[in-house]
Amino acid sequence: MQTFLKTLFVMILLAAPLVAGCSDNTKEQGLQLAPPQENSTMSSGHLLPCPARPNCVSSEAPNGSSHIAPLHFSGPACEAWLALQDILINMGGQIEKADDHFLHVTFQSRIFRFVDDLSCRLDHANNLIHIRSASRIGYSDFGVNRQRVERVRVTFDNLSQTASDR
């Protein structure tokens, strides 16, 4: 039994870098190992573009594999903004930064404790909330960030529909 446990432990240790997609040169791959700094989550008033890896989705990405639709709302922008924050907290997110037009939330995976960053930008003029979700490390996220944003969308749309029915 001890041999089995030792073998399992070694296999997990060896598999972790493969799952994470780690390499010796994280700068070359553009991996972000530290939390984003305040100025690194937005660029020229927009969310950062997705890297050239399949571990990010953004409503501000040009049409392609990284693109995802923004969230639409009607009614007061401040109510939609606060509702979104509640949704993200209820999904297990940790709000790192929030102001009247920008939101940065982190999510941590259960097993390996990998951190994903979710950023939102409120577009008052168009009644939109732009959203970006990306893994900090690794090459692929196996669709986790897209699934997260779609869960946010369904919950947000259901909440918006309930509010408009009142």
Determine the pLDDT at residue 16: 40
- Is residue 80 within 8 Å of 95, Cβ to Cβ? no
38 in a domain, yes or no? Answer: no
In a domain, 120, yes or no: yes
Number of compact structural domains in the chain: 1
State the residue range of the domain holding 109.
46-165
Identity of the residue numbered 99: D
Domain containing residue 72: CATH number: 3.30.310.80
**What are the backbone dihedrals phi and psi of residue 94, each rounded to the nearest 5 degrees, phi first?**
-115, 115
> Within a domain: residue 57?
yes
pLDDT of residue 33: 38
Residue 1 in domain: no
Distance (Å, whole) CA 65 – CA 56? 9
Give the pLDDT means over successive 10-residue stretches in the chain (166 positions). Answer: 47 38 33 41 83 96 93 96 98 97 95 94 97 95 96 94 70
Residue that has been written with the tokens 């900090």 in this structure: 136
- Say what the pLDDT of residue 111 is: 87
pTM of the predicted model over 0.85: no
pLDDT computed for residue 112 by the predictor: 85
Residue 115 — left, alpha, or beta (φ > 0 → left; ψ -120 to 50 → alpha)? beta
